Chains A and B, each alone.
Chain A
């Protein structure tokens, strides 16, 4: 019986510690306590991406490694915060290998047999299309927030949803079409039961992006190009299929719009 109580106490302590850590900004949070899929308003564009990539080494929480690796980048005398770990990898002369490692991360996860620059005439629906590297969750969320906002124009044709005039390569009409096609492709894959009707076979239709006014479709494509650029990803990185953590601006004030919206 005493053992059970002891175990429960230890579990409670662990849970309390996890919750306390989750409330700290990443700059002060120990490595190992960031979950990019949770609503987390901690700021820092590069720091948030970095926090997704690294984790404590199994068996030594003072050592830090990359997700999917068993080799330590850093072996500290104490547990490091995310900011300390990022600063160490960024500035230490002994961290060149780690810097190299984080400069060519895969852009796409999952099978990607083909790259698209225009709407294909022979597209075959697949169970899954490639998704972004998990450390680019904020980029995916920003694009998703843009779609979420643009849909307001279905109810209000005068809804203000500006595109991007400067700072990106001009977007052609063909590009607007392929972006709308790709977004629609993903929305149609993700259908779910209507709210309050879980278990029924009826599901809500996908949002009809082709019904959006053309200027809204164009604004979405321009914003998407701009969002990628905000994470240091342009045509060259897309063709090569890699991205670099060091091309993501530090942007210490950045907070995910989705997290900001859901936390209020």
Chain B
């Protein structure tokens, strides 16, 4: 009779440094050049 399979009780972790790390939000570093200039909000005081 086969031995019963043991189910892991710990959830495998993925650290932010490992790939793939799912993005949770839009990374501002990946937006287009014009929108990076827009992100400086030149209508708001420096």
Contact = CB atoms under 8 A, between A and B. Distances in A.
B4 interface: no
Contacts of B25: 151, 204-208
B33 interface: yes
A190 B41 CA distance: 14
Interface string B7-46: 0000000001000001111111111011111111111111
Given A129-B38, A140-B40, A204-B23, A117 B28 contact: no
A37 interface: yes
Contacts of B26: 187, 190-192, 203-207
Contacts, number: 130
A37 B33 contact: yes
* Category for how many chain A residues contact B: 35 or more
Interface residues of B, number: 25
Contacts of A203: 26
Nearest to B41: A182
A183 interface: yes
B44 A178 contact: yes
A175 to B, nearest CB: 7
Contact of A107 (B24, B30, B33, B42): B42
Contact of B45 (A112, A117, A145): A117
B13 to A, nearest CB: 13
Contacts of A132: 37-38, 40, 42
A131 interface: yes
A52 B30 CA distance: 21
Contact of A144 (B16, B23, B36, B44): B36
24 contacts: A37-B33, A112-B42, A112-B43, A116-B44, A129-B38, A131-B38, A131-B42, A137-B36, A140-B36, A143-B36, A144-B28, A147-B28, A151-B28, A175-B45, A179-B44, A182-B44, A187-B28, A190-B26, A195-B22, A204-B24, A206-B26, A208-B25, A224-B40, A235-B46
